[in-house]
């Protein structure tokens, strides 16, 4: 007689554990990765490109970004070292040139918000797992 109540209790616990795990998986939260491709490059009706794309990756703990700027045409990509604080999701990098351009930003599941000289730029995440 004890077998039946124990079996029912065991099945109920298994069902509860499965439904809890399934609910956590499908809660709608996106997996966060610092690495990725972030872009707001667009093409006008005349065919001119505008915007910026950042490919952010890490290699053995050091972060790098390949940055492409579009000003009418796509300019050659530039590889730069990135200072990253993964816990705070903050990054910082500088583009070389006549006057170096310093960017600070915050990475989210949806994209990368960069600030340059007080101006904010949002780059949408293009590649997700």
Domain locations along the chain = 36-125
Q: Which of 43-50's residues contact partners 24+ apart within 8 Å by CB, and which partners?
A: 48/72, 48/73, 49/73, 49/74
Q: Calculate mean pLDDT across residues 17-34.
A: 52
Residue 52 has pLDDT above 90, yes or no: yes
pLDDT tens track for 60-78: 889 999 999 999 999 999 9
> CB under 8 Å to 8, separation ≥6 — which residues?
none
Min mean pLDDT across 30-44, 63-77, 98-112 is at 30-44
Integer CA distances (angstroms), 4 to 9, 15, 17, 110, in order: 9, 17, 20, 50
Residue 16 has pLDDT above 90, yes or no: no
- Residue 66's CB: how many other CB atoms inside 10 A? 14
Q: Calculate mean pLDDT across residues 86-105.
A: 92
What is residue 34's predicted lDDT score, i.e. its pLDDT? 79
Integer CA distances (angstroms), 13 to 4, 26, 55, 63, in order: 14, 20, 46, 45
Q: Which residue, 79, 26, 70, 66, is CA-closest to 48?
A: 70
pTM of the complete model: 0.71
What is residue 128's predicted lDDT score, i.e. its pLDDT? 53
């Amino acid at each position: 007689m004890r077998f039946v109540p124990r079996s029912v209790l065991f099945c109920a616990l298994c069902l509860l554990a499965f439904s809890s795990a399934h609910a956590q998986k499908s809660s709608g939260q996106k997996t966060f990765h610092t690495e990725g491709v972030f872009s707001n490059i667009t093409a006008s009706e005349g065919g001119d490109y505008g915007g910026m794309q950042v490919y952010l990756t890490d290699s053995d703990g050091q972060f790098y970004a390949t940055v492409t700027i579009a000003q009418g045409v796509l300019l050659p990509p530039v590889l730069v070292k990135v200072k990253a604080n993964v816990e705070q999701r903050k990054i910082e990098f500088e583009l070389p040139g006549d006057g170096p351009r310093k960017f600070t930003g915050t990475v989210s599941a949806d994209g990368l918000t960069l600030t340059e000289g007080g101006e904010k730029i949002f780059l949408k995440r293009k590649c997700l797992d």
